[in-house]
């Protein structure tokens, strides 16, 4: 039976922000719909309304002309609306089967039969009896999808599903989604990746600032046209000119980097060796969870490993803590903006004071020099076009993009010789991504070096001079980026080898 | 944010209501009993002086604890640090038991602070260098110090003219805190508490140490990333906390008590944990909280006298304050909703 989902005049207003402004959309089964928009465009709010997590201030949702009262996630489930979130809701230490049986309505025997049917039908290869923590991100996502399929959904909503997947896994996902679609499940695909929209979806709705700005057939769209609709302004294309740095000095050299941990959630690192030249960007690609976290922390000095040798500007720094490394003009931008790089409960100027290098005089004789810190913070806010000039604002009120600008600004204020960043644009919208990319390129232009650890291959190809891939704690050989293609990276990131 | 400082008041109101209900169940007129509990004790000047007398050690200890708690260090053993501070300070006072001199009291006080500090360093060092759990170690050390005090007052330090009572000699007047008013027990120790409030406010909000404490309390990951010296900070906050508890202990023995015996503290060190949280770990909040909690001690005594209820009701009230505080903090952002679901609907 055909499914018809209609959203009618939905509005949701938060204090100081209209998240959804009179949104009306119509979806019919047999097609895959993309919901495209920057962060903060109102996609998540809309999805949360559809899945019953929040209630709209105004407007209605109709499923096959039946007015749905979605006041809790339970209601969404009852009405056969399934949701796969970006972050998985699985118990890591329980087996796949146990995870699926938690909210099942039938006995274990019947459930196992039905799961096996689904596995067979869609060619999923997952061992039901291994703990979820042993699964790859793609497999975990499949478990989530199976959980939805077990309820024979009419609508399946996928929220940024590819952010953790390899290229290979993404392709597999697309094949499955197309199959679901053929079987009459209505699919709504939320993303800010333009290429995915073009390759997967039939129709695309673009949201901007809470409003639907366009609904169109994807066959009539191109990456550029969609990007312009999404951002609302012409985007200048940036492409880095490759730094010809064959004869330049090596400013940073890592030898025998080993890390061993008993923690099953950490990755061991095995004998990493690499170096960075002056003015160069070294990209380190990989699917998240292959040792990037550990590598970043060792490079920043949060973890000290015994036998590693790290030479920076001809000095051995492997035993220094992050603060001491900063004095030697290194800077760090970790992946986790909210609980590591900055503290949301702190005011902007207090977060700036976290980078307390000696010449800053932020703290004189152990006392806080608030005036100095605030002066400095004001400069960062304006130099890095953060959309506020109030240094007393708590950082939790900054959007991801603005927070990242603040962090980069804070790290760059010392004019560091080497910046190490890990997923600097993770979860940001196109405008902020461009800004950050331009900033990173500018750093290289000024003959300063960067190490870019990233899970975004496009970003790596755009910014790096040389690229290596980290897989299961081992580093591939380092390649000049003009020799690297996305396909090559994909193979290496998935554990394959190239010659 | 405003609610954050408001919940302590909700907790106090709920505690009063809860107390009324308990009195009612016990067969008393709740209004009457609550009046005996909360009003009678401070209805005269003497009572008010007693309130400040009890609030002084609570405030001092809680101020110290706020340094630990703010930076995610769970020092539960302030009672032990208080006791050890009293032992060291009392030991110095006993050395001078037959001497006079203006320098004696400062020496005694200093010794008390150092004693508390050293005792607090034990869990801190074990935590930083051997990765032990400071909650367990600091708590267990309470019993160590209490037994040590017990041994001293029964054995080597007991008063030779004391007919084998488990207590030491009386300290000389030079080792006693000056009284502020004739006939009242309130003594100069209150200035120590007020000085600690000011100083802690300054350290917490105006110094690099305070900044590090704040950041570590909010996110240990960030503290590590910023390169703060985590180990040094743990040692420092424990030392501050121990010194404050030691001062409280020495304030008691040189103030109202005047000698060492077994019962130098009615668990001030534990009760101060409630004070610290009720005061939101804020120096000025702690002043207010210490007065409220001190009143529960006094109220327990008056209800014992007038209504023949055991004075342990005081602990019931203190427990209720903490319980209601935690509950209102936890439930603050909850919305109560009555669900009308059939049982198996929950499984869908």
- Partner residue opposite A343 with nearest CB, options B210, B215, B345: B215
Q: Which of B202, B205, B211, B225 is the best mutation test for A, with the most CBs of A within 10 A?
A: B225
* Between B64 and B331, residue with greater pLDDT: B64
- Partner residue opposite B221 with nearest CB, options A339, A345, A366: A339
Report in angstroms the alpha-carbon separations of B324 from B7, B30, B278: 9, 19, 10
Upper half-sphere CA count for residue B288 (Cβ side, 13 Å) = 14
The C-alpha of B226 sits at a distance from chain A's nearest C-alpha, in angstroms, of: 6
* Between A111 and A13, residue with greater pLDDT: A111
* Between A124 and A246, residue with greater pLDDT: A124
* Between A425 and B1, residue with greater pLDDT: A425
Name residue A312's beta-bridge partners: A252, A315
pLDDT at B347: 44
- Partner residue opposite A339 with nearest CB, options B206, B209, B222: B222
The C-alpha of B340 sits at a distance from chain A's nearest C-alpha, in angstroms, of: 13
pLDDT at B309: 87
Partner A contacted by B327 (CB < 8 A): no
Give the pLDDT mean for A335-342: 88
Lowest-confidence range among A12-26, A186-200, A266-280, B239-253? A12-26
pLDDT at A329: 92
Q: Are residues A218 and A201 in contact, defined by beta-carbon separation less than 8 angstroms?
A: yes
Residue whose entry in the numeric block shows the structure tokens 């300054």: B202
- Partner residue opposite A340 with nearest CB, options B210, B222, B227: B222
Question: Are the beta carbons of A324 and B225 separated by less than 8 Å?
Answer: no
- The answer to whether the Cα torsion of A181, A184, A189, A195 is positive or negative is positive
Partner A contacted by B219 (CB < 8 A): yes
Q: Which of A152, A83, A84, A79 is nearest to A117 (CA)?
A: A152
Give the pLDDT mean for A360-376: 89
The C-alpha of B208 sits at a distance from chain A's nearest C-alpha, in angstroms, of: 5
Q: Residue B261: is its pLDDT beyond 90?
A: yes
Q: What residues in B contact A53, CB-CB < 8 Å? A: none
**Structure token pair of residue A108:** 């274990």
Partner A contacted by B214 (CB < 8 A): yes
pLDDT at B339: 65
Full set of structural domains in chain A with CATH: 4-231 (3.40.50.300), 236-329+415-499 (3.40.50.300), 339-413 (no CATH)
Please, what is the Cα angle at A464 between A459 and A467, to 5 degrees?
100
- The answer to whether the Cα torsion of A333, A366, B70, B283 is positive or negative is negative
pLDDT at B343: 47
3-state secondary structure of B260: coil
Q: What residues in B contact A355, CB-CB < 8 Å? A: 226
Q: Residue A235: is its pLDDT beyond 80?
A: no
Q: Residue B117: is its pLDDT beyond 90?
A: yes
pLDDT band, residue B194 (cuts 50/70/90): very high
Question: Are the beta carbons of B348 and A345 separated by less than 8 Å?
Answer: no
pLDDT at B19: 93
Question: Are the beta carbons of A321 and B211 separated by less than 8 Å?
Answer: no
Question: Are the beta carbons of A346 and B221 separated by less than 8 Å?
Answer: no
pLDDT at A156: 93
Partner A contacted by B226 (CB < 8 A): yes
Partner A contacted by B335 (CB < 8 A): no
Q: Are residues A59 and A47 in contact, defined by beta-carbon separation less than 8 angstroms?
A: no
The C-alpha of B224 sits at a distance from chain A's nearest C-alpha, in angstroms, of: 6
Residues from A contacting B (CB-CB < 8 Å) are: 74, 77-78, 103, 105, 300-302, 321-326, 332, 334, 336, 339-343, 345-346, 350, 353-356, 363, 366-368
pLDDT at A479: 92
Q: What residues in A contact B226, CB-CB < 8 Å? A: 322-323, 354-356
Q: Residue A58: is its pLDDT beyond 50?
A: yes
Segment B307-323, tens digit of pLDDT: 888 888 889 999 999 99
pLDDT at B341: 55
Q: What residues in B contact A367, CB-CB < 8 Å? A: 206-208
Q: Quote the CA–CA distance of A155 and B225 in Å, as a whole number.
A: 43
Q: Residue B162: is its pLDDT beyond 90?
A: no
| DSSP secondary structure code for residue A134 in this structure | G
Give the nearest chain B residue to A371 (CA atoms): B206
Q: Quote the CA–CA distance of A70 and A59 in Å, as a whole number.
A: 12
- Partner residue opposite A345 with nearest CB, options B218, B226, B344: B218
pLDDT at A237: 52
pLDDT at B344: 47
Q: Quote the CA–CA distance of A100 and A86 in Å, as a whole number.
A: 18
Q: Quote the CA–CA distance of A207 and A225 in Å, as a whole number.
A: 14
Q: Quote the CA–CA distance of A232 and A342 in Å, as a whole number.
A: 30
Average pLDDT over chain A, rounded to an integer: 87
pLDDT at B195: 97
Partner A contacted by B231 (CB < 8 A): no
Residue numbers of B between 141 and 180 with CB closer than 8 Å to A? none
Give the pLDDT mean for B109-127: 97
- Partner residue opposite A324 with nearest CB, options B210, B211, B227: B227
As a whole-number percent, the residues of chain A with pLDDT over 70 amount to: 95
Question: Are the beta carbons of A368 and B225 separated by less than 8 Å?
Answer: no
Question: Are the beta carbons of B208 and A323 separated by less than 8 Å?
Answer: no
Q: Residue B345: is its pLDDT beyond 60?
A: no
Partner A contacted by B348 (CB < 8 A): yes
**Structure token pair of residue A373:** 């810190």
pLDDT at B69: 96
pLDDT at A247: 65
Give the nearest chain B residue to A366 (CA atoms): B208
pLDDT band, residue B138 (cuts 50/70/90): very high
Q: pTM to 2 decimals?
A: 0.74
Q: Quote the CA–CA distance of A439 and A486 in Å, as a whole number.
A: 23
Upper half-sphere CA count for residue B214 (Cβ side, 13 Å) = 23
Q: Which of B49, B8, B65 is nearest to B269 (CA)?
A: B65
pLDDT at A244: 58
3-state secondary structure string across A302-363? CCCCCCCEEEECCEECCCCCHHHHHHCCEEEECCCHHHHHCCCCCEHHHHHCCCCCHHHCCE
pLDDT band, residue B246 (cuts 50/70/90): very high
* Between B110 and A264, residue with greater pLDDT: B110
pLDDT at B346: 45
Give the pLDDT mean for B206-226: 92
As a whole-number percent, the residues of chain B with pLDDT over 90 amount to: 81
- Partner residue opposite B218 with nearest CB, options A336, A343, A355: A343
Q: Which of A301, A346, A364 is the best mutation test for B, with the most CBs of B within 10 A?
A: A346
Q: Residue B348: is its pLDDT beyond 50?
A: no
Give the nearest chain A residue to B214 (CA atoms): A346
Lowest-confidence range among A104-118, A237-251, B263-277? A237-251
Q: What residues in A contact B72, CB-CB < 8 Å? A: none
Lowest-confidence range among A5-19, A144-158, A314-328, A347-361? A5-19
- Partner residue opposite A354 with nearest CB, options B205, B222, B346: B222
Q: Quote the CA–CA distance of A131 and A94 in Å, as a whole number.
A: 5
A-to-B residue pairs, Cβ atoms closer than 8 angstroms: 72
The C-alpha of B126 sits at a distance from chain A's nearest C-alpha, in angstroms, of: 21
Segment A247-303, tens digit of pLDDT: 678 899 999 999 998 776 788 899 999 999 999 999 999 877 789 999 999 999 999
pLDDT at B340: 63
Question: Are the beta carbons of A353 and B211 separated by less than 8 Å?
Answer: yes
Q: What residues in B contact A78, CB-CB < 8 Å? A: 348
- Partner residue opposite B225 with nearest CB, options A77, A78, A340: A340
The C-alpha of A346 sits at a distance from chain B's nearest C-alpha, in angstroms, of: 8
**How is chain B split into domains, by residue range?**
57-284
- Partner residue opposite A339 with nearest CB, options B208, B209, B219: B219
Partner A contacted by B343 (CB < 8 A): no
Torsion angle, alpha carbons of A315, A318, A320, A321, to 10: 140
Q: Quote the CA–CA distance of B38 and B221 in Å, as a whole number.
A: 45
Name residue A32's beta-bridge partners: A187
Give the nearest chain B residue to A394 (CA atoms): B1
pLDDT band, residue B110 (cuts 50/70/90): very high
Q: What residues in B contact A323, CB-CB < 8 Å? A: 226-228
pLDDT band, residue A478 (cuts 50/70/90): very high
Q: Quote the CA–CA distance of A391 and A281 in Å, as a whole number.
A: 32
Burial of A414 (0-12, 13-18, 19+ CB in 10 A): middle
Residue whose entry in the numeric block shows the structure tokens 């007991």: B158
Segment B70-101, tens digit of pLDDT: 999 999 999 999 999 999 999 999 999 999 99
Residues in chain A: 499
């Amino acid at each position: 039976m055909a499914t018809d989902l209609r959203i009618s005049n939905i509005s949701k207003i938060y204090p100081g922000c209209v998240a959804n402004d009179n949104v009306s959309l119509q979806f019919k089964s047999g097609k895959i719909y993309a919901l495209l928009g920057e962060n903060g465009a109102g996609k998540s709010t809309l999805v949360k309304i559809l899945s019953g997590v929040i209630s709209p201030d105004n407007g209605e949702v109709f499923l096959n002309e039946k007015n749905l009262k979605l006041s809790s996630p339970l209601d969404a489930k009852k009405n056969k609306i399934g949701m796969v979130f970006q972050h998985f809701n699985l118990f890591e230490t329980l087996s796949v089967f146990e995870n699926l049986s938690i909210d099942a309505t039938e006995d274990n025997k019947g459930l196992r039969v039905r799961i096996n049917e689904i596995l067979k039908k869609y060619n999923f290869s997952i061992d039901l009896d291994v703990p979820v923590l042993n699964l790859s991100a793609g497999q975990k996502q499949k478990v989530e999808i199976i959980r939805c399929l077990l309820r024979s959904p009419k609508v399946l909503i996928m929220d940024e599903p590819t952010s953790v997947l390899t290229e290979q896994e993404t392709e597999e996902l697309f094949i499955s989604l197309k199959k679901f679609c053929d079987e009459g499940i209505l699919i709504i695909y939320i993303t800010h990746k333009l290429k995915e929209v073009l390759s997967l979806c039939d129709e695309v709705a673009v949201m901007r600032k809470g409003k639907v700005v366009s609904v169109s057939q994807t066959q009539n769209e191109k990456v550029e046209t969609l990007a312009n609709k999404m951002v609302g302004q012409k985007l200048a294309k940036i492409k880095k000119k490759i730094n010809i740095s064959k004869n330049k000095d090596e400013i940073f050299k890592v030898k025998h980097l080993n890390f061993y941990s008993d923690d099953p959630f950490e990755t061991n690192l095995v004998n990493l060796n690499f170096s960075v030249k002056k003015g160069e960007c070294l990209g380190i690609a990989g699917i998240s969870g292959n040792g990037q976290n550990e590598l970043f922390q060792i490079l920043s000095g949060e973890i000290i490993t015994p036998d590693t040798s790290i030479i920076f500007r001809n000095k051995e720094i492997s035993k220094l803590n992050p603060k001491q490394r900063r004095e030697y003009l290194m800077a760090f931008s970790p992946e986790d903006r909210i609980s590591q790089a900055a503290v949301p409960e702190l005011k902007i100027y207090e977060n700036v004071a976290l980078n307390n290098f000696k010449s800053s005089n932020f703290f004189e004789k152990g006392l806080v020099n608030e005036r100095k810190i605030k002066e400095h913070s004001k400069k960062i806010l304006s130099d890095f076009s953060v959309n506020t000039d109030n240094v007393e604002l708590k950082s939790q009120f900054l959007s991801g993009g603005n927070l990242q600008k603040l962090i980069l600004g804070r790290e760059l204020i010392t004019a560091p010789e080497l910046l190490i960043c890990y997923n600097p644009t993770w979860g940001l919208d196109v405008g902020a991504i461009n800004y950050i990319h331009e900033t990173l390129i500018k750093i290289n232009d000024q003959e300063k070096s960067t190490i870019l650890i990233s899970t975004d291959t496009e970003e790596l190809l755009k910014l790096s001079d040389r690229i290596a891939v980290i897989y299961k704690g081992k580093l591939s050989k380092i390649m000049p980026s003009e020799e690297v293609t996305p396909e090559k990276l994909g193979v290496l990131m998935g554990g394959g080898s190239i010659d | 944010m405003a609610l954050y400082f408001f919940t302590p008041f909700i907790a106090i109101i709920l505690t009063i209501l809860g107390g009324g209900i308990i009195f009612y169940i016990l067969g008393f007129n709740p209004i009457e009993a609550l009046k005996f509990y909360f009003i009678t004790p401070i209805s005269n000047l003497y009572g008010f002086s007693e309130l400040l007398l009890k609030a002084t050690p609570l405030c001092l200890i809680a101020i110290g604890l706020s340094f630990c708690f703010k930076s995610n260090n769970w020092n539960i053993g302030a009672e032990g640090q208080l006791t050890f501070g009293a032992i060291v300070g009392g030991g110095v006072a006993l050395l001078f038991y037959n001497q006079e001199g203006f320098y004696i009291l400062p020496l005694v006080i200093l010794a008390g602070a150092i004693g508390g500090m050293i005792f607090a360093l034990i869990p801190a060092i074990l935590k930083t260098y051997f990765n032990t759990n400071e909650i367990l170690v600091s708590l267990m050390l309470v019993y160590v110090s209490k037994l040590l005090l017990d041994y001293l007052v029964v054995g080597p330090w007991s008063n030779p003219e004391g007919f084998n009572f488990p207590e030491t000699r009386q300290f000389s007047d030079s080792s006693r805190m000056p009284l502020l008013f004739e006939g009242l027990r309130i003594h100069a120790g209150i200035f120590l508490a007020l000085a600690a409030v000011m100083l802690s406010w300054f350290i917490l909000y105006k110094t690099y140490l305070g900044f590090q404490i704040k950041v570590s309390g909010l996110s240990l990951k960030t503290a590590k990333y910023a390169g703060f010296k985590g180990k040094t900070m743990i040692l420092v906050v424990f030392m501050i906390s121990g010194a404050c508890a030691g001062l409280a202990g020495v304030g008691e023995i040189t103030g109202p008590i005047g000698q060492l015996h077994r019962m130098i503290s009615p668990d001030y060190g534990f009760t101060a944990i409630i004070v610290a949280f009720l005061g939101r770990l804020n120096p000025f909040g702690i002043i207010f909280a210490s007065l409220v909690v001190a009143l529960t001690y006094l109220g327990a005594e008056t209800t014992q006298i007038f209504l023949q209820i055991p004075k342990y009701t005081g602990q019931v009230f203190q427990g209720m304050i903490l319980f209601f505080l935690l509950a209102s903090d936890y439930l603050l952002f909850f919305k109560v909703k009555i669900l009308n679901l059939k049982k198996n609907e929950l499984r869908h």
